[in-house]
Amino acid sequence: MDLTKILFKKSLIVIISLLLVLFYLQNGILYAEGGMAIRDKTEEIGKLLIKHEYEKVFRNFNNKLKQEVPSARLSKIMSDLEEKNGPIEIIERLQAVPNIQINFEDITKGLWSIRFLTSDKKPLDLLLAFNSKRELSGIWLFDEPDAEAAEIKNSHYKNKTQLSLPFKGGWVVIQGGFSKVENHHLRATDGQSGGSTFAYDFVMVYKGKAYRSKGRRLKDYYSYGQPVTAPADGRVIQVVDGISDTPLGMSNVFHAAGNVVVIDHGSSEYSLIAHLKKDSIRIKEGDELKRGQIIGSCGNSGGGALSVPHIHYQLMERPYVWESVGLPVTFSNIILNGVPQKRAKLKRGDFVQDR
């Protein structure tokens, strides 16, 4: 290949990457509405907590949150947290958290997190959700806020299998990463995670929303019915099908994962893909799969009350969910937020697609 062709190819890659960045900025993830005003409100709440002025924090709650977390309960939560970890002393950082409107009932207009340090130098994370009136509509506190602080098994593991994304086109990570603020799967560190500790949830998003129209029907969701693909070569060792989609706003406590496919990649690495659409699974146990082969369609089987059509992906060290421990995932040959990457870990808010 001559120099002109090489330069042309590199220029083309740069142009495509810039176009993808523009697409991401226009159609991807919304951060906190209100900008600096919400940031300042977040910092104010953090300072009030350090000074133990819980009643003033409580006044920022919306009516629903006031009922769910009365002032006395907030005071008790903070007291127990400081007794365990030491008094909160400083705010180490403030950070906007990507806010993806995945449910038509979601009133969140901004998410911010605070990293505190206690007198014992222990990190604590506070996640705050704001509504359009800049009232607090949600508040979550995490000690041992990330995989390192929680000393979670396999945190530094590097997958041996070269893994592709389990879908076609561009999707957004709505849960994923190594902190509890970014990834609710990481919060289940009590042995009950079913191998999902480092799992990812993906949805298709347009202009900050996961749905068209009013989002009251499953078919309103961009992800619904989209093809789901094998992330690497492997043998199918488990297929669960026949579970109906869970209606929006409801949950399936008996089959939380819904319709599932488990793939053995060798090297004690097993992919699990969950929430597939009923009767969409095209493969059977014992089949040998190729990377990128369609295995089924994105659905809403299983899931909790706030679940919407999405792809749940996790890597495990054993074939059976409840006997397994989760493994961190590095994906290969992807475009991450508009930039080509040979290998990359993902976090909440990332816009990703295969190269």
Domain that holds residue 93: 36-143
Does residue 84 sit in the same domain as residue 191?
Answer: no
Average pLDDT over the chain, rounded to an integer: 89
Does residue 207 sit in the same domain as residue 118?
Answer: no
C-alpha angle 12-16-17 in degrees, rounded to nearest 5: 115
- Residue 63 pLDDT class (50, 70, 90 cuts): very high
- CATH code: domain of residue 81: 3.10.450.590
Last residue of a domain, one of 143, 161, 187: 143
Contact (Cβ atoms closer than 8 angstroms) between residue 39 and residue 94: yes
Does residue 52 sit in the same domain as residue 138?
Answer: yes
For the cut 70, the answer to whether the pLDDT of residue 246 exceeds it is yes
Helix extents (H) in 197-237? none
Does residue 209 sit in the same domain as residue 296?
Answer: yes
What is the model's pLDDT at position 194?
A: 65
The per-residue pLDDT for range 12-50, each reduced to its tens digit, is 554 555 554 444 444 444 444 557 889 999 999 999 999
CA nearest 70: which of 82, 84, 55? 55
158 alpha carbon, distance to own chain's centre: 20
Cβ burial, residue 10 (10 Å; 0-12/13-18/19+): exposed
The per-residue pLDDT for range 151-207, each reduced to its tens digit, is 888 999 999 999 999 999 999 999 999 999 999 988 765 445 568 899 999 999 988
C-alpha angle 271-179-328 in degrees, rounded to nearest 5: 25
What tokens does 92 get?
A: 């180490």
Q: For 305-316, what is the mean pLDDT?
A: 91
Backbone angles phi, psi at 221, to 5 degrees: -85, 130
Does residue 46 sit in the same domain as residue 135?
Answer: yes
> Does residue 310 lie within any of the structural domains?
yes
DSSP 3-state of 43: helix
What tokens does 209 get?
A: 């929303």
- CATH code: domain of residue 320: 2.70.70.10
How many domains are there within the chain?
2
What tokens does 122 get?
A: 């222990």
Q: Which residue in this structure is represented by tokens 């693909």?
A: 229
Q: For 83-102, what is the mean pLDDT?
A: 92
Q: Which residues on adjacent β-strands are paired with residue 331?
A: 163, 344
Does residue 75 sit in the same domain as residue 189?
Answer: no
Kindly report the number of other CB atoms within 10 A of residue 81's CB atom: 19
Q: How far apart are CA 170 and CA 76, in angstroms?
A: 44
> Does residue 295 lie within any of the structural domains?
yes
What tokens does 351 get?
A: 């816009």
> Does residue 163 lie within any of the structural domains?
no
Q: How far apart are CA 274 and CA 347, in angstroms?
A: 19
Cβ burial, residue 283 (10 Å; 0-12/13-18/19+): middle
C-alpha angle 296-301-302 in degrees, rounded to nearest 5: 135
For the chain, how far is it from start to end, CA to CA, in angstroms? 21
Q: How far apart are CA 43 and CA 112, in angstroms?
A: 10
What is the model's pLDDT at position 266?
A: 97
Give percent of the chain with pLDDT exceeding 70.
88
What tokens does 53 get?
A: 């002025």
> Does residue 301 lie within any of the structural domains?
yes
Last residue of a domain, one of 143, 162, 186: 143
Does residue 124 sit in the same domain as residue 177?
Answer: no
Does residue 194 sit in the same domain as residue 332?
Answer: yes
The per-residue pLDDT for range 117-133, each reduced to its tens digit, is 999 999 999 999 999 89
For the cut 70, the answer to whether the pLDDT of residue 70 exceeds it is yes
Does residue 333 sit in the same domain as residue 193?
Answer: yes
CA nearest 136: which of 48, 37, 63? 63
Burial readout 246-282 (b: 16 or more C-beta within 10 A, e: otherwise): bebeeebeebbbbbbbbbbbeeebbbbbbbbbbebbe
> Does residue 159 lie within any of the structural domains?
no
For the cut 90, the answer to whether the pLDDT of residue 283 exceeds it is yes
> Does residue 53 lie within any of the structural domains?
yes
What is the model's pLDDT at position 28?
A: 45
> Does residue 341 lie within any of the structural domains?
yes
Does residue 127 sit in the same domain as residue 223?
Answer: no
**H or E element in which residue 132 lies:** none
Does residue 115 sit in the same domain as residue 184?
Answer: no
- Residue 307 pLDDT class (50, 70, 90 cuts): confident
> Does residue 160 lie within any of the structural domains?
no
Last residue of a domain, one of 128, 143, 158: 143
**H or E element in which residue 93 lies:** strand 88-97
- Lowest-pLDDT range of 195-199, 235-239, 265-269: 195-199
Does residue 259 sit in the same domain as residue 210?
Answer: yes
Q: Model's pTM, two decimal places? A: 0.87
What is the model's pLDDT at position 21?
A: 47
